Structure 1
Amino acid sequence: MKPLHIIPYFYLFIAALFIYDIITKLIASNYDIWLSLGASAFAIFMFFFRRKYAKRMENHYQGKK
């Protein structure tokens, strides 16, 4: 069950990389940020989704014991 607790933070790391990409593009006056913005929003969504799923699975397996 350890990977289920680590994977959501991987999505936060990916979101941070895309947010960094957005900031560097804005500083360089390149306003083509939509793909990075969408990818970072998706990664943040996946963080919360995976975290909720991991808690649900943990509760499910605790109930079986």
Structure 2
Amino acid sequence: MIKILRYTEYLYLGVFIFSLYRIYTDWNLDRQSAYLFVFFAIVSIGMFFFRRNYRKKFEQRKRDNER
């Protein structure tokens, strides 16, 4: 289960990088689309750090229960 949590972290990071790319390419062409991807970038980087924190707490609890 911990491996799945790790993969979802990097999935959110991938969405963040893709959103940054779309913001860069669409900024002068279509502002509305760029703003939508700004929202996606903010949410995805927040979810990346949230999931990372959650996974580390889960691993720590698992280590504490094994002792």
Q: TM-score, normalising length from structure 2?
A: 0.86
Structure 2 partner of 1:16: 17
2:56 is matched with which residue? Answer: 55
- Computed over aligned residues only, the root mean square deviation of the Cα atoms, in angstroms, reads 1.1
Alignment match, 1:6:
7
Sequence identity percentage = 30
How far the C-alpha of 1:30 sits from its partner, in A, is 2.3
Q: Secondary structure at the match of 1:29?
A: coil
Distance 1:44 1:6 in 2: 14
Please give the alpha-carbon distance, in whole angstroms, between the structure 1 residues aligned to 2:4 and 2:31.
37
In the alignment, structure 2 segments of 5+ residues that lack a partner are: none
Q: Does 1:43 align with 2:31?
A: no
Structure 1 length normalisation: TM-score?
A: 0.89
TM superposition outliers: structure 1 runs of 4+ over 3 Å: none
In 1, Cα distance between equivalents of 2:21 and 2:29: 14
- Partner amino acid, structure 2, of 1:6: Y
Question: How many pairs were matched up?
Answer: 64
